[in-house]
């Protein structure tokens, strides 16, 4: 993927590539009619709107039975991303599929959760899962808690990243501000995760909590910060406190010192 502004990749060429992947598993997919509107349609749009435009075209040209459409799209995803990078390089083309699920799959919980799991193994489902969290908070938070035990680091990361209150590019989610326990339960399971990809998400999640619910966030970090804490947890605590350190918050500095850092 040569360098150019990310939004510019969502063009007719992406449409052709996506159509070719789909046709392998759904031969009657009309590539010409799918691709034709994209050039003019996305010309004056920014990234998120370009992605949504292509997602809407998918809805027009895939079977109207949502389960059938998701079966085709899941097959079209191809091999999993085995790296902690690549979401916006090799697998950027998955984004319209995620938007399709976000926009058209909300009334199909079981089917959508399955394809969300597969999407995040290639790109990310951190955006498309948020409407599901808001509609089915108990069911989704329990499922995300199970993901913390997954062998797949992408799923473990989604458990934290998808439930962040201040996820970049996404609408702020205040659902768990009053009762953050479902989020805390997830983060507790990931506090010593071996994947740096997951560690960064956990730290960023707590950084969000500190902005929205400082007493809860700082209490959690104090609990984790022990002299013989695991190095993974130590890194998470320090990274979560990066903004508080810049402000020279005495409470934050004390926590870091307590770990011998």
The confidence band for 88, taking pLDDT boundaries of 50, 70 and 90, is confident
Q: Are 228 and 188 in contact (CB under 8 A)?
A: no
pLDDT > 70? residue 261:
no
Query: Average pLDDT of 132-146?
Result: 97
**CA 94 to the chain's CA centroid:** 12
- The number of CA neighbours under 13 Å toward the Cβ of 155 is 17
**CA 152 to the chain's CA centroid:** 14
Query: Average pLDDT of 214-229?
Result: 94
- pTM over cut 0.75: yes
How far apart, in Å, are the Cα atoms of 236 and each of 21, 168, 206, 218?
Answer: 39, 19, 9, 13
The confidence band for 167, taking pLDDT boundaries of 50, 70 and 90, is very high
How far apart, in Å, are the Cα atoms of 152 and each of 61, 127, 158, 166, 181?
Answer: 32, 19, 10, 24, 24
* CA gap 203, 199 in Å, rounded: 6
The confidence band for 15, taking pLDDT boundaries of 50, 70 and 90, is very high
The confidence band for 87, taking pLDDT boundaries of 50, 70 and 90, is confident
pLDDT value at position 1?
52
pLDDT single digits (tens) 31-73: 999 999 999 999 999 999 999 999 999 999 999 999 999 999 9
Segments making up each domain of the chain, as ranges? 1-128, 153-261
* CA gap 236, 201 in Å, rounded: 9
Q: Candidates 3.40.630.30, 3.40.50.10540, 1.25.40.290, 3.30.420.40; correct CATH number of 153-261? A: 1.25.40.290
pLDDT value at position 2?
57
Extract the tokens encoding 61. Answer: 């040209």
How far apart, in Å, are the Cα atoms of 93 and each of 5, 51, 86, 197, 232?
Answer: 14, 9, 11, 21, 32
pLDDT value at position 246?
95
């Amino acid at each position: 993927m040569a360098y150019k502004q990310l939004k510019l990749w969502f063009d007719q060429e992406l449409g052709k590539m996506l159509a070719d992947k789909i046709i392998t598993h759904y031969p009657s997919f009309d590539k010409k009619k799918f691709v034709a509107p994209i050039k003019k349609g996305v010309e004056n749009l920014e990234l998120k709107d370009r992605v949504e435009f292509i997602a809407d075209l998918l809805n027009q040209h895939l079977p109207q039975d949502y389960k059938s459409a998701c079966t085709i799209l899941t097959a079209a995803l191809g091999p999993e991303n085995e790296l902690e990078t690549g979401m916006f390089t090799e697998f950027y083309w998955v984004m319209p599929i995620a938007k399709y699920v976000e926009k058209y799959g909300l009334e199909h919980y079981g089917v959508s959760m399955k394809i969300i799991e597969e999407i995040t193994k290639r790109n990310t489902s951190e955006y498309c899962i948020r409407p599901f969290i808001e509609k089915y908070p108990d069911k989704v938070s329990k499922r995300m808690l199970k993901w913390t035990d997954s062998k797949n680091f992408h799923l473990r990361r989604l458990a934290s990243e998808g439930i962040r209150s201040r996820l970049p590019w996404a609408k702020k989610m205040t659902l768990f501000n009053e009762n953050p326990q479902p989020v805390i339960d997830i983060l507790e399971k990931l506090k010593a995760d071996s994947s740096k990809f997951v560690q960064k998400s956990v730290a960023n999640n707590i950084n969000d909590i500190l902005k929205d619910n400082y007493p809860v966030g700082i209490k959690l970090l104090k609990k984790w910060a022990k002299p013989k804490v695991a190095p993974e947890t130590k890194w998470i605590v320090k990274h979560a406190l990066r903004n508080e350190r810049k402000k020279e918050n005495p409470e934050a500095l004390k926590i870091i010192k307590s770990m011998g850092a």
